[in-house]
Structure 1
Amino acid sequence: MKTVQISDHIWKCTTWIGFSISAWVVKSDEGLTLVDSGIPLMANGLKKCFKELQAPLKSIVLTHGHSDHVGGVKRIRDQYPVPVYVHETEIPYMEGKLPFPGRKKAEKLTEQGLVQPFDTNVLSAAGLTAYHTPGHSPGHTVFFHEQDGVLLAGDLFTSKRGRLNRPMPMFTSDMKQAVESGAIVKQLNPKRVSICHSGDVSITNAEEQYEEYVLQFV
C-alpha cells in the first residue's frame, strides 16, 4: 500500500487490485479520523499509517457502504474499537436488510448496530463537513476539509487525464443523480478533489471543470 500526504492534515492510502482503491487518514488536534477503510488487505497498511502519525485513531467515517469502502472496518476495529459513522440511508443496505439499488441480493457487510448515523460534532473535531451526494449509492457522502481545501470525494467521480470523470457505471445505481450531485464542486470550490479509484484532480476553476464534466453526458 502506498501512503502519500496530500495536504497539511490528510494522507491518502492506496492499493491496487487491477484498479486503485484508496482510503484517507485525517489528522487533527483530537487525533486521527479514517475516511473509508478500503478492502480487508489494506487494514495492516492503515494501522502502520496510524502508528507513523503518532496519534490515536478516534473514529471511522464512510463515504458509503459498498464493500471496497467498508471491508477493512472489522480488522481495524479488532485493534482500535472506535465508532463507525455513515449516512443513515446506507445503514439498512450495509446490515443486509436491503440489496443496494441495482443489485439482486442483499449482502451483510456489517453487524447490526455497529454503524451509526453521522455525528456532526465528531466530523467537526476532525475538520470535516459532510455533504450528501447520492447517485453512486443512496447515502453517498463526501467530506470537505475546508482548512486544507480538499474534497474527499469517495466514488462521486473518477478522473481521466487530470480531469473529473464519471463514477464507475457498473457500480453506480443512478448515474443522472450522481452527475447532479457532482455540482458540489461548484458550491465548495475545493483546491483538490481526492478520489478513491483514480488520481486526484487539482481544481483551478470549479464551475468550468464541472460544466466540462457535465458535457460528457450531453
Structure 2
Amino acid sequence: MERNQDSKFEETFLPVTSIGSGVGIAVLPDIYCYTDKIVNLVLVGNPNELDDFVLIDTGMPKSADEIKEMVEERFGEGALPKAIVLTHGHFDHVGSVAELLEEWEIPVYAHELEIPYLTGKLDYPPGDPNVDRGLVAKMSPMFPNHGIDISAHVQMLPADGTVPNMPNWKWVHTPGHTPGHISLFREQDRALIVGDAFVTVKQESLYKVMTQTQEISGPPKYYTTDWDAAFESVKKLEALKPQVAVTGHGLPMSGEELAENLNYLVEHFAEIGRPDSGKYVN
C-alpha cells in the first residue's frame, strides 16, 4: 500500500475534540465503544478471545497508534482484528484505515454503494455550513471530503445481510447520510451499532460536541445529502426496537431512554432531525 493514500488526511488539522476522547465504554460484554476525539469506533468480540473480534470504523486521521494501543489493551498484546467493517467512508470514520492496513493485513467490508469512495473513484460532497448556526457546521467546508483508495483490502458486504466474522449480526442499509451507509443489528439482544444514521449529540454544535451533551439527533446535518432517505433510515432503525444503541457520535443509549428518544426523533424528524435550509435539503 502506498503511503500517500491518506496524505490529505495527514495534512489536515482539525481543532475539534471532546471530554470523552480516549475513553472506552463496555456497552455489553462483547461491545466496546471507544471515542477518538469526536467520533466513536467499536470493537465487537469477547475480550478473552484474542483474535476473534472485529473493528467497526477507524476514527480520525493520525489515530492509528492510539487505536492499536486501545485494541491491545482490550484484547491483549499482538491482538489483531479479523476484519474492519465501515459504516461509511467519511473522513472521521476512515481517517486511520490506510495507516492501520499498512500493518494489519486484514479485509475491510463496506456496502456496495460506498465502494467508489473507498477505491479512489468518487469524492463526497463538501460540508454545508448553512444547515445550522453551530460552529462545527460552520467549519464543515474545511473538513476533508475526498475519497480514499484501499482497493487492495476493501470488499463488498454479502448481499444476504450477513457480516463476515460477526455471527448473529446483520447489516442494515441506512442511506441518507451517505449512499452506502450501513448500521449493524443483532436480533438476540437487540444491539444496534448505528454509525451516523442518527446520533446522540447535536453534532453541529461545538460546545455540545466538546461536552458530549446527550441529545437525540438525526445524522450530522452538514454532511447529509439525502434527507428523505435519512428519514426512512431512522424509521427503519426505530422499527427494530433496539435495546442498546452505539452511535457514531455521542454516548451510547439504552433501554426506555433509547426507545423514547428514538420514537421522538421519528415523530419530530422535520423539526429536530432535518435542517430548515441548506444546499442538500431539497
TM-score with structure 1 length normalisation? 0.86
Q: CA deviation at 1:51?
A: 1.6
Structure 2 equivalent of residue 175 of structure 1: 227
Runs (5+) with no aligned partner, structure 1: none
Q: Distance in 2 between matches of 1:173 and 1:8?
A: 35
- Mapping for residues 11-160 of structure 1, pairs under 5 Å: 11-16=32-37, 20-28=38-46, 31-52=52-73, 53-54=75-76, 55-101=79-125, 107-119=146-158, 120=162, 122-125=164-167, 127-160=168-201
Matched, 1:164 2:216: yes
Question: Contact 2:31–2:44 at 8 Å: present in 1 too?
Answer: yes
Structure 1 equivalent of residue 270 of structure 2: 217
Q: Distance in 1 between matches of 2:145 and 2:251?
A: 31
Q: Distance in 2 between matches of 1:85 and 1:11?
A: 19
> What residue identity is the alignment partner of 1:200?
P
3-state DSSP of counterpart to 1:89:
helix
3-state DSSP of counterpart to 1:167:
coil
Q: Distance in 2 between matches of 1:21 and 1:202?
A: 19
TM-score with structure 2 length normalisation? 0.68
Q: CA deviation at 1:205?
A: 7.4
Question: Contact 1:123–1:129 at 8 Å: present in 2 too?
Answer: no
CA RMSD of aligned residues (A): 2.6
Q: Which has the higher strand share?
A: 1
3-state DSSP of counterpart to 1:182:
helix
- Mapping for residues 176-195 of structure 1, pairs under 5 Å: 176-195=228-247
3-state DSSP of counterpart to 1:197:
coil
Distance 1:180 1:157, change over 3 A: same
> What residue identity is the alignment partner of 1:217?
A
Structure 1 equivalent of residue 130 of structure 2: none
Question: Contact 1:35–1:62 at 8 Å: present in 2 too?
Answer: yes
- Give aligned pairs, total: 214
Q: CA deviation at 1:124?
A: 3.7
